[in-house]
Amino acid sequence: MDKIDRNETRDLNRDPISGTPGSHPVGVGVGGVGGAAAGMVIGALGGPLGMLIGGGIGTLVGAAAGKGVAERIDPTGEEAFWRETYTSRPYHDARFDYENDYAPAYGYGVDARTRMPERTWDEALEQELGAGWGQVRGESKLEWDHARDAVRDAWDRSDRTYRAYDATDRYYAGEFDRADYRDRDVAYDDYRPAYRYGTQARGQYGDRQWDDRLESELGQGWDKVKGSSRLGWDKAKAATRDAWHGVERVLPGDADGDGR
C-alpha cells in the first residue's frame, strides 16, 4: 500500500488510501440508511472505501478491535454474520446447510485473509487455497468448485474490513492531537478500538440516533471490543461518539435526526 502524506489524511475530503479528494475515510459506503439512499451515498462519494459494503447495500465492515492485523478481523463476528446471511448469497444451494457445509468455507476465507495480509485474490491464490481445501473442510460436502465462492466471499469481506480500518486508523491518528477529549497521558493505540467501535456502530444502528440510551448500550459492549485498550467506557465513549458522527457528517441531510 502506498504511503499517504499525513497532511492528506487530516483532510476530511480526501480519501486516506488513494489521496483522492471528495471522500471521507469512514463515510464512503456506510450502510444502514436504506437501499436506494445508501446506493446514492456510495455513488456520490466514491473512492476505494465504497467497497466496504459487504454483500449488499447496508452492510458495513466486520467487527474489529485491538491493533494488529489479525485483531481487525474478528472470527466470532464474521461467523455470526455469515450464519445470518448465507442463504441470501447467490451461490447458496439449499442442499447444503450452514453448520456442516458453508461454515468451514467461510472460516477458511477469513483465516486466509488474516494469514496473508499482503496477498490479493488472484488465480494463483485461488489455486493455492483450492489445494488446501481438503485439509480444512472437515465434514463439509462442498467440493472446491462450490466452496470457492463462499471462501472468496469471506475473503473479500475480511479484506474490506482490514482496508477500511486501516484507513480510519490513519485518519484518526492524524486528528488525535487535536481531539479535545483525549487524555494526554494515554496513547492513540488505546483510543483506536473506540474509533473503530463508533464507525461500525453507525453502520449497525443506522436507524438510531446518538442519545443516552444508545450510549449506554454501546457502553455495555465496550469490554468485548476494546482489545488491549486501557480505557474505561467513561473515556472511550467520546472517541466512539466522534467516529459515529464522522460517518454521520458525510450522509446527506441529518440521517440520525440529532441536528449534527
Which residue stretches of the chain are H helix? 6-9, 35-45, 69-72, 75-85, 103-115, 123-136, 144-175, 188-204, 212-225, 233-248
Per-residue pLDDT tens for 73-109? 666 778 888 999 999 999 999 999 999 999 999 999 9
Query: Has this prediction a pTM greater than 0.75?
Result: no
pLDDT of residue 246: 79
**Which tops the pLDDT comparison, 227 or 26?**
227
Q: How far apart are the first and last CA of the chain?
A: 34
Q: What percent of the chain has pLDDT over 90?
A: 42
**Residue 136 — very low, low, confident or very high, per pLDDT cuts 50/70/90?**
very high
Q: Which of 54-58, 96-100, 121-125 has the lowest mean pLDDT?
A: 54-58
Does residue 69 contact residue 161 with C-beta atoms inside 8 Å? no
Q: Return the bridge partners of 21, or none.
A: 14
pLDDT of residue 71: 53
Above 60 in pLDDT, residue 60? Answer: no
Name the nearest CA neighbour of 242 among 171, 143, 146: 171
